[in-house]
Amino acid sequence: MTKIPFYQVDAFASKPFEGNQACIMPLEEFLPDETLQAIAAENNVAETAYIVPTGEGVWNLRWFTPAVEVPLCGHATLASAHVLFNELGFEGEAIHFDTVKSGRLVVRKLSSGALEMDFPSAPIKEIPVTDEVARALGARPVQAWGGMFYAARFETPEEVKALTPDLKALKDLGAPGEGWDRGNFGCFAAGGAEVDVTSRFFAPGSGIDEDPATGSWHTMLARVMSERFEQNDLKCFQAYPGRGAFIDTRLEGDRVKLIGTSVTVIEGQFTL
């Protein structure tokens, strides 16, 4: 029998039952891919992250939803750093994560206790809103962009909060262009209660109907808001029913800083 340390963390949260759930599992080396995917399906939260030490302050990092391995995940990166800093006693100034498709990601602890992640922010392109997308979302966005995901802008936060998309139809849609993920839609509007932007993220293409807190989406949202509203520093709210998450972003060239806090809610062992 193999026992693997297991931490379930609410990421981008100040207390339990906020933000997004991630399971963090420290390993000495990566298990076979099919085993990693099976464990993530068993955990059945938005993301399971596996971390393997490779040097002083350096870990390899991979992320799996219950259905697929993903190229970038913000909330599970934040949760991984939270576990290393707060549960496993890492005392360095910064944690360096090496990833397969997103390069090196650096996470630093701020004096406030929050963690600041340094992520890439890919280029975006404004695209037309098609009738097919409007029908699947159940409302017509006023603007749309393609990039890492499909970004749909609405006029008011209330419209975003009221969305009830056809997830089956949405799964097969996306922005035109090679390399842009299908079935992953960020919907947003400027404004909200004491925030600069309110959004939701629907991800049936990644095996998740709706994600409660999505760091990778905010790397795109930061660029869209900068180009559309000339705002490089944002206070963001992701409005998932019953949870919700606050994420601060700062766009710096082709990188974006994502800032948030996390809490550990479960600690134990996963037995194989």
Q: Which residues are catalytic?
A: 47
DSSP code at position 194: T
Q: How far is CA 254 from CA 118, 119, 127, in A?
A: 10, 9, 21
- Residues contacting 209, CB < 8 A, separation 6+: 167, 202, 203
**74-86 and 215-229 are packed helices; what angle lies between their axes, rounded to 10 degrees?**
120
Q: What is the DSSP string of 26-58?
A: E-SSPPPHHHHHHHHHHH-SSEEEEEEEEETTE
Compute the distance between CA of residue 270 and CA of residue 5 in angstroms, rounded to an integer: 6
148: Cα within 13 Å, side-chain hemisphere: 26
152: its two tokens? 């749909």
